[in-house]
Structure 1
Amino acid sequence: MSRASHRAACAALTLLLAGGPAMADLQVAVGATSESTVALKAEVDRIVPLSSLHPRLELRLATGLLLLSSDEEDGNAALTLAPALRWTFAGDQGAFVEGGIGAALFLKTRVESRNLSTAFQFEDRLAVGVPWASGELSLALTHYSNAGIKEPNDGFETLTLGYRFPL
């Protein structure tokens, strides 16, 4: 990642965290892409109960920053908006599964050998997690793609391990 991209990403993360909503949580995740690029994600989120639909259903509203770094100057970063439905298995504090479709806006239209064609990408995410210590531990598989808006549509995936804790 170039110095300018790195500085822009750090500035965006600082603004995101400073301007996050009251009573929000922070999730930090680390992993890799399908191209073996290191992925770091930081999100500020809020859980909205959907108990009127079902007592175990919630909506997770998250916004964050995805940083992709590689050995070359191919790094990239994206601002993300990621709503997800969450199903909790064992009451309020049990294991959960999440799934959602969000959006990402990348600084560049390339991730290593992948040509994204557009800076705008959809973010499809599946995650599983459990309560751990005072937060939550989760494993997420995320797919980024422009859904055929423009060719080529060389999407990519990330697999991340994250920890979410109250701010």
Structure 2
Amino acid sequence: MPANKQWMVKEWRGAVMVALMLGWGTLEAQAGTLDPSLEAGVSSEDSPTLTLGLHHSVTPLPWLSSEWQSWSLQLSGRLLLLPGRNSEKSNAALVLAPALRYTFAGGTFIEGGVGAAIFLEAHLRDSEFGTAGQFEDRLAIGRPWGPGALQLALAHYSNASIKQPNDGLEVLSLGYRWRL
């Protein structure tokens, strides 16, 4: 590798390390703020859903300009349960998903993100997923209510046509997230 490219690689490594340390420092400063959530919903297969989650909110750094203070990063780990009906098999997924949240004056928020999900089975009722690994696209709207927030969310699970069939799955849910 030419000397000038080696220098560029070293500079990029240094920049990445600084960015990681700043990010880690931000998370460490906010450590211990895992908020639990509970969501009930229905899938596009007319199956009931129940989602248990833990969330961490990374707020903007105070020295950022005021227009960035309404944005936050939401880091979520969720367990999506899809109980079967009668003789149908149940399914479940572990979901890890970041989301960007914009909070309006008054507390109402919108958020969206793309994450990853691992399902126990690559099918549910009439849907064939092709793979157990799926991407999650999620949009939500909510507002503060009591000691937490009430939200309505729509999630789509798909393997992005990595393997056929790729029927996908949608889940519409109403949930509550407690602020601890």
TM range, smaller chain: 0.7 to 0.9
Structure with higher Rg: it is: 2
**Equivalents in 1 of 2:163, 2:60: separation in Å?**
36
**Equivalents in 1 of 2:89, 2:155: separation in Å?**
20
**Equivalents in 2 of 1:97, 1:131: separation in Å?**
12
Which among 25, 45, 61 is matched to residue 35 of structure 1? 45
Pairing 1:118-157 to 2, within 5 Å after superposition: 118-157=131-170
Aligned-partner residue type, residue 27 of structure 1: S
**Equivalents in 2 of 1:41, 1:128: separation in Å?**
17
Which has the larger helix fraction? 2
> Which ranges in structure 2 are unaligned for 5 or more consecutive residues?
1-30
What TM-score do you get using the length of structure 2 for normalisation?
A: 0.77
Q: Name the structure, 1 or 2, with higher relative contact order (CA <8 Å, separation 6+).
A: 1
Q: Secondary structure at the match of 2:131?
A: coil
Count of residue pairs the alignment pairs up: 145
> Which ranges in structure 1 are unaligned for 5 or more consecutive residues?
1-20
Q: Secondary structure at the match of 1:140?
A: strand
8 Å CA contact retained: 2:97, 2:115: yes
Which has the larger strand fraction? 1
Percent identity over paired residues: 49
Pairing 1:91-106 to 2, within 5 Å after superposition: 94-106=107-119
Runs of 4+ that moved beyond 2 A: 50-53
Q: Secondary structure at the match of 1:62?
A: strand
**What is the RMSD computed on CA atoms of the aligned residues?**
1.3
What TM-score do you get using the length of structure 1 for normalisation?
A: 0.83
